[in-house]
Amino acid sequence: MPLHSYLFVPGDRPERFSKALATAAHQVVIDLEDAVAPEGKIQAREGLSKWLRDGLPDIDKERVVIRVNAYGTPWHEDDVKMLRESSVTRIMVPKAEAASELADIASRCGKAVSLIALIESVAGVVEMRAIAHEKAVSRLAFGSFDYCVDAGVEDSGRELDYVRSQFVIESRYAGLAAPVDGVTLSIDDADLIAADAASGRRFGFGAKLCIHPKQVEAVNRGFAPSDADFAWAERVLAKLAENPRGAIAVDGKLVDKPIVDKAKRIIASFTR
């Protein structure tokens, strides 16, 4: 199943972990980094370790991602050690800026892990190609607001078009899943959330970070093919079946191999 929504939940609120898993979020990101104050990080890690051992149902293990503290911080090594001893294999690495750091994290986990490289700085963008080609990395994610602060960019719209294109290009070049777009700060504006999701999808992103359960439905809907998309794809493949070797047209437009490939992707990803 395509993974379109990544819902953050604070790592020091274990009573919310199961509630987050009860939502329609495709992935639940338990956050030991920004969501936890420095003085609470050790306790949060200990509480998460206990929940992973005693409270996480086997059926949900593939839906859980842990965002560790950034490489080089006082809490990072113990976060990775905790994950090494757990059954979780999906890790979000914040402030990803060097492929060598990601490789080191993967090696210290002592098992096959899937790293989501959260790129949030100019340095990370500059090193994006190497990061995307690190073998433990499965996906890139855009920490758009942190990036804006670091780069001195004053808005997160068209000002980020160049950087967004880099995420899409480097993900495709490395053979990764389409990247994960940054958060929308509004929680209650469903129209804005849907518009941001639609914009991300048009740009070539395949998912979006969510900061509240209210955002999940709009994000899932925004990245999934619509009924109209599915109907169009069915028409394309039906025409192709009728004439597999000749030129075909659908809705008055010529159809070539890239269009057929797009139709096949839509059919494969569509969930009713």
Binding residues for Mg(2+), by number, are 120, 146
Residue count (the chain): 272
Residue 266 CA: distances (Å) to CA of 87, 153, 175, 193, 212: 33, 35, 18, 22, 28
SS3 for 145-157, per residue?
HHHHHHHCCCCCC
Task: Look at residues 156, 36, 15 and name the one whose alpha carbon lies nearest to residue 94.
Answer: 36
- Residues belonging to the binding site for substrate are 67, 120
- Residues belonging to the binding site are 67, 120, 146
Q: Are strands 248-250 and 253-255 parallel, antiparallel or unpaired?
A: antiparallel
CA atoms in the 13 A half-sphere facing the CB of 190: 7
- Residues 191 and 199: beta-carbon distance below 8 Å: no
The rounded distance, in Å, linking the Cα atoms of 112 and 94 is 19
Angle at 179 between CA 160 and CA 70, to 5 degrees: 85
Residue 70 per-residue DSSP state = P
